[in-house]
Amino acid sequence: MKIIFRSVVLMLPLAFGLGCSNFLDESINVTPNNPTAVPPSVLLPTVEIGTAFANANEINRFASTIMQQTAGAANSPATYDVYQTNGADFGNQWRFELYGGALVNAQKIIDIASASNSPAYTGIAKIMKAYAFSVATDMWGDVPYSQALQGEANPQPRVDKQEDIYKGNTSQNIQSLFDLVREGLADLDKQSATRPGNDDVIYRGDLAKWRRAGNTLLLKLANTISVKEPALAKQVIDQVIAGNNFIRSNADDFNVTFGAAVGSRDPRFEYTNISSFKDDLIMSSRYLTLLQGLNDPRLPVFWTKPAANYVTWDNGQSGARPTPVTTWSRYNSYVTGANGEGPVRLLTNFQRAFILAESALMLGTAGDPQTLYAEGIRASMTLAGIPTAQIDAYITANALRGTQQERLAQIITQKYIAFTGNGLELWNDWRRTGYPTQQPAQNAVGIDGTRPVRAVYVSFENERNTNFPNPAPQSNVKVWWDAN
């Protein structure tokens, strides 16, 4: 008995030695928690929702406030309202919603779908990528672009000039945003092994609508640089008009629709009605004055009026806020959806019409500015459910008149009203054109008391990427296309 025991004792290490090959099998270290490969169909919703989320979340709180549609009643919006912004703002937008969200996953779709011969996916992903990059460069100016999204291959991407991002630069190997969209449009025309369906939350896999959206995106990009680069803008717009395949109906709007349940809702619904920050934003008194002055029938559609009168706040105003907060005028269901469905309107029929009106007026592209301007108002009011007779009367009362600049001011002001709830578009148009004309906020401080004309680079990049200038350009330094 003892002999057996002793033998066993002495053999024990041997037994463990033999057992090791299975005990330390490589499968032990394969994660059971995450997939290492996925189909493009689960990445596409992330890209689309991520882009819409970026547009409608903090960027909208910032831009709609400095553009005086909303006023900042508390917290960050109150700071924005007096023109204070720095590198601690928009970290989530840069890091999680744009570069680490919509953009890198669009790039993943391009990589995966190229390998599986699915240009329907690569085409959509390239259009989405171009859109999301336009958000980034319009916000921050020069940003990583041609070397971005490469992960380990380039952990500190170069910062490309905004001019090169919009126009391309062959010597630097930078593809223009226009060419990126065109490449996406070309992909959509190819045979595709797989095609999106319900995973495409924008168009449910309707590639014809995607082609129209892609061409409309070209119009928007050209419009953005039209003051700085009128010739190039005209050339792009002429080309799109000639191609005659862009958004012409509200039904084709490039909208991202959200859901009604918690965790599925449009961020504007959340921060207007639900979250603990819901009393940060209130309708701006100046916006109210503008729309009441125009006798605009969209006012009650776009904004709530829980009390007898609209309860608003002036931009930058100090002192006790109106009470109770339940009386405040906030974004209405036109913006947020009845229960958080949105949609976030990224490219719209009214936008297309206003862009063509502006370029007809300023660049001499095809079409009559007044007709296109009226088309834009009609598209917007139809979306808002305004009866035709009222639309007609409004268009008549607000026909284009005056000098070229006065007419431009009318076009941009109508675009400003129509785009209620998409602050970035308002801010882009104002920076380009200076319209609508607005007085500075009360108690404005900022860097020098003027309205920000760019977002300050997020401090992460200064910590992690030596290609970024430090100190970063402050919020009073114009971006390249801001030439007025």
Partner 1 sequence: MRRILLGSWLLSLLFCLPLLAQDVSISGRVTSSDDGSALPGVSIQVKGTTRGATTDAQGQYRLSVPANSRLVFSYIGFETQEILVGNQTTIDVKLSSGTQSLNEIVVTAQGIERDKRSLGYSTQEVGASMIAQKSEPNLLNALQGKLAGVQISGQSGAPGASTNINIRGITSFNGSNQPLIVVDGIIFSNDVNVSGNTLFQAQSANRLADVNPENIESVNVLKGPAAAVLYGSRASAGAIIITTKNGRNQNNKTEVTVNSSYNVQNVYGLPRFQNDYGQGTNNLYVNNTTASWGLPFVGGPTSITNLQGETRPYQAYPNNVRDFYQQGSIFQNTANIAGGDANRNFSLSFGNTTQKGIVPTFKFNRTNVQVGGESKLNNGIKVSGTASYVQTVQGGTALGNGGSAFGQLTRIPRSYDLVNEPFQDANGQSIYFLTTANNPNWAVRNLTLNSQVDRFFGNFTVGYDVTKWLNVTYRVTGDTYTDRRKNVNNIGAARAPQGEIIQDQFFRSELNGDLLVNAKADKLFIEGLSGNLLLGNNINQRQSQSQSVYAQQLTIPGFSNVSNGSVFTSSGESSLTRRLVGYYAQASLSYNNYLFLELTGRADRSSTLPRANNTYFYPSASVSFVPTDAFKLQSDILSYAKVRASIAKVGRDADPYLLNSVFAQASFGNNLASVAFPLSIGGSSVPGFAIGGRIGNNGLTPEFVTSQEVGLNLGLFKNKVSIDAAYFFTSSTNQIFNVAVSPSSGYDTRTTNVGELQNRGLELTLNATPVRASGFRWDVTLNFTRIRNKVVSIAPGVTQSGITGNGFIGITSSIVEGQPYGVIVSTANPRVQNTNPNGQYYDATGQFVGQYVINPTTGQFAPGLAGQVIANPNPNWTAGLNNTFSYKGFSLQALVDTRQGGQLFSFSAADYRSGGSLYVTGIDRDQPRILPGVIQNSDGTFRPNNIQLPAQTYWAGLGGLASEGAVFDATVYRLREVSFNYTFPKEWLSRTPLGAASIGITGRNLYFFAPGFFADPEVNTQGAGNIQGLDLNGPPNTRNYGVNLRLTF
Q: Which residues in the 138-167 window bind partner 1 by CB under 8 A?
A: 143-144, 148-152, 154-157
For 254, phi then psi, to 5°, come to: -85, 80
Choose between 193 and 260: whose C-beta lies nearer to partner 1.
260
- In this structure, the strands spanning 281-283 and 344-347 are unpaired
- What's the DSSP call for residue 457? P
Q: Which stretches of 307-368 are DSSP H helices?
A: 333-336, 349-362
Dist CA 89 CA 463 (whole Å): 15
Residue 22 half-sphere exposure toward CB, CA atoms < 13 A: 4
Among 117, 172, 264, 289, binds partner 1 (CB under 8 A): 264
Q: Is 421 in the site for partner 1 (CB under 8 A)?
A: no
Q: Is 270 in the site for partner 1 (CB under 8 A)?
A: yes
Give me the helix-helix angle, 44-56 and 58-66, nearest 10°.
30
Dist CA 44 CA 201 (whole Å): 8
Terminal C-alpha separation, the chain: 99
- What's the DSSP call for residue 73? -
Q: Is 87 in the site for partner 1 (CB under 8 A)?
A: yes
Q: Is 253 in the site for partner 1 (CB under 8 A)?
A: no
Among 276, 309, 396, 403, binds partner 1 (CB under 8 A): 276
Among 168, 205, 230, 259, binds partner 1 (CB under 8 A): 259
Among 261, 308, 389, 397, binds partner 1 (CB under 8 A): 261
Q: What share of the chain is helix, strand, coil (3-state, %, to 5)?
A: 55, 5, 40
Q: Is 464 in the site for partner 1 (CB under 8 A)?
A: yes
Query: Contact at 8 Å (CB) between 420 and 58?
Result: no
- What's the DSSP call for residue 102? I
Min separation Cβ 462 and partner 1, Å: 4
Min separation Cβ 150 and partner 1, Å: 6
Q: Is 356 in the site for partner 1 (CB under 8 A)?
A: no
Q: Which residues in the 285-324 window bind partner 1 by CB under 8 A?
A: 318-321, 323-324
Q: Is 50 in the site for partner 1 (CB under 8 A)?
A: yes
Q: Is 392 in the site for partner 1 (CB under 8 A)?
A: no
- What's the DSSP call for residue 433? H
Q: Is 477 in the site for partner 1 (CB under 8 A)?
A: no
User: Which of the stretches 258-266, 377-385, 399-407, 434-442 binds partner 1 when contact is defined by CB under 8 A?
Assistant: 258-266
Q: Is 440 in the site for partner 1 (CB under 8 A)?
A: no
Dist CA 249 CA 350 (whole Å): 9
User: Which of the stretches 98-106, 212-220, 233-241, 409-417 binds partner 1 when contact is defined by CB under 8 A?
Assistant: 98-106
